[in-house]
Amino acid sequence: MRVSGGLNNNSISGLYNTLFQGKVAMHNNRLSRDLFPTNNAQGQGSFSMSTMQYISDIKSAANSLSNALKDLSGSAFSQNTMVSSNTDAMTVNFTGSNLNSMGDMRVQIDQVAMGQLNEGARLSSSASYGGDRGVNRFEINTGGKTTQLSINVAAGDSNRDVQQKMATAINNAGLGLRATVETDSKTNMSMLRVESTNVGTAERNAFSIRDVTGNAAAQTGANEVSRERQDAIYRINGGEAQVSQTNTINLGNGLSATLRAASEEEVTITRGKDVTTAISAVESMARSFNNMFSAAAGNIGDPKAQGLASRAINISSAYSRSLSEIGISFDGSGRMIVNSQQLSRAAESGKLEQFFMENRGKNFGFTASMGRLAGNVANNTSNFVSSSMFGNSFGENFTYSGFGNLNQLNFMGSGSLLDYMF
């Protein structure tokens, strides 16, 4: 048969596409058989679903880690807002539209609003309970409503057992009260504390506890008021005392403050860096690091996965002292732990920004080193999984880039694409 005319660029392209699509279809059929074998013997050319999950996990975590580190080397520290000079005593929130119009402000906090507290007797934690056994009923009156609760005191119950039973009954009743049992390990003494979750002197915030049957309330001391409810008292710019039944106060022009503790010295409010964005970015970084590290460390059968875990640990270890100074440490398994209070203090003092940005644009430092690793994992995921983990149907000539459609597989290796196809 004689074919007239030659092959131009369009016909070559059309032929190539036809052949390629046919080859991809053939490969997808084979891949589908390997992914979802029916009569295949176990392990003969199978593609491990756990390996697929591992690839997806480290890729997703690495992308999130990379994004968080990029924020921490720039935009996370670029926002300005109104800030408090003492966040232990007062935090502020600015939602206004004109920061430049805001002037400095001074706030003296004489007392913060609190709820009523009933602090029970300190009893020997492990000693046998000395009150009535069997069913003990007690009632709580709060907000003008009376609710009766009961516990069952067993023969072998200790003081702490009964305190905990009362705390559980109170918490489960949903009365706006928080009951806890505090134990001093040095003295082996325990105490039942019942506190209103509502602050301020409003009558609806008061509560009382009394025995109905048995003497559990009296025996534990839960019926004794140790702190009356109180309002917040504060002064702005040396002015007259102001009273608030809540600890959130409106200072005007989109500025509000939350009073946290009484202060001997005035707390100043000035324009400064918005640390909330940076703190959020650090928390995101820690979560992403832990997800990537856990996936790699948990993939015990794959040496390349173990290598990824080791590289993450090595970078962390190199900067562990500096990280600990800003509130980031590591547990025994190598996972990041963030101390929120220490992190906030580091953000307010500028140490957080200094740590993440001091080597910005350079090839060394924690941000750059961890960022390179995260970027490598995100962009070259197949480098962190051994080819043997993919079963017999794959050689070294492929990179799996995600859980998408099978046509999203990219085939790469020592030969060209045509070599692989034909």
For residues 369 and 356, give the distance between their C-alpha atoms in angstroms, rounded to a whole number.
11
Q: What is the pLDDT of residue 344?
A: 84
Q: What is the pLDDT of residue 111?
A: 97
Query: Which residues, 6+ apart, have CB-to-CB distance to 54 below 8 Å?
Result: 295, 296, 299, 302, 305, 385
92 compared with 357, residue with greater pLDDT: 92
Q: What is the pLDDT of residue 38?
A: 39
pTM as predicted: 0.56
Residue 234 has pLDDT above 50, yes or no: yes
Model confidence over 69-91: pLDDT tens digits? 988 887 777 677 888 989 889 99
Strands 90-94 and 255-259: antiparallel
Residue 271 has pLDDT above 90, yes or no: no
- 383: tokens are 């480098």
Model confidence over 11-29: pLDDT tens digits? 334 433 443 344 434 444 4
Strand segments, DSSP code E, in 264-320 are 267-273
- 401: tokens are 């880039």
Domain boundaries, the chain: 12-47+391-421, 56-77+276-382, 80-113+231-273, 117-220
Residue 21, amino acid: Q
Contact of 220 with 120, CB cutoff 8 Å:
yes
Contact of 297 with 334, CB cutoff 8 Å:
yes
Residue 5 has pLDDT above 50, yes or no: no
191 alpha-carbon distance from chain centroid: 31
Place of tokens 């025995």: 211
Place of tokens 């502020």: 92
Long-range contacts of 36-45 (CB under 8 A, 24+ apart): 43/391, 44/392, 45/391, 45/392, 45/393
Residue 39 has pLDDT above 80, yes or no: no
Q: What is the pLDDT of residue 27?
A: 40
Q: What is the pLDDT of residue 274?
A: 75
Element (H, E) at 304: helix 303-318
For residues 327 and 396, give the distance between their C-alpha atoms in angstroms, rounded to a whole number.
43
- 224: tokens are 């004794």
- 275: tokens are 């640390």
Q: Could you give the percent of the chain with pLDDT greater than 90?
A: 58
Residue 398 has pLDDT above 70, yes or no: no
Q: What is the pLDDT of residue 408?
A: 35
Q: What is the mean pLDDT of residues 58-68?
A: 94
For residues 299 and 293, give the distance between their C-alpha atoms in angstroms, rounded to a whole number.
10
Model confidence over 292-311: pLDDT tens digits? 999 999 888 899 999 999 99
Q: What is the pLDDT of residue 396?
A: 37
420 compared with 6, residue with greater pLDDT: 6
Model confidence over 174-222: pLDDT tens digits? 999 999 999 999 999 999 999 999 999 999 999 999 999 999 999 999 9
229 closest CA partner among 245, 242, 243: 245
The mean pLDDT value of the chain amounts to: 82
275 compared with 111, residue with greater pLDDT: 111
3-state secondary structure (DSSP) of residue 224: coil
- Could you tell me which CATH number the domain at 117-220 has? 2.60.40
For residues 116 and 140, give the distance between their C-alpha atoms in angstroms, rounded to a whole number.
13
Q: What is the pLDDT of residue 108?
A: 97
Radius of gyration of the chain from its Cα atoms, rounded to whole angstroms: 32
β-bridge partners, 111: 233
Q: What is the pLDDT of residue 249?
A: 96
Contact of 313 with 297, CB cutoff 8 Å:
no
Residue 167 has pLDDT above 90, yes or no: yes
Q: What is the pLDDT of residue 362?
A: 65
256 closest CA partner among 85, 77, 82: 82
Q: What is the pLDDT of residue 30?
A: 44
Q: What is the mean pLDDT of residues 345-369?
A: 80
Note the maximum CA span of the chain.
110
Q: What is the pLDDT of residue 363?
A: 66
**Helix, strand, coil shares of the chain as percentages rounded to 5?**
40, 25, 35
Contact of 109 with 90, CB cutoff 8 Å:
yes
Count Cβ atoms within 10 A of the Cβ of residue 250 and give its class: 0-12 exposed, 13-18 middle, 19 or more buried: exposed
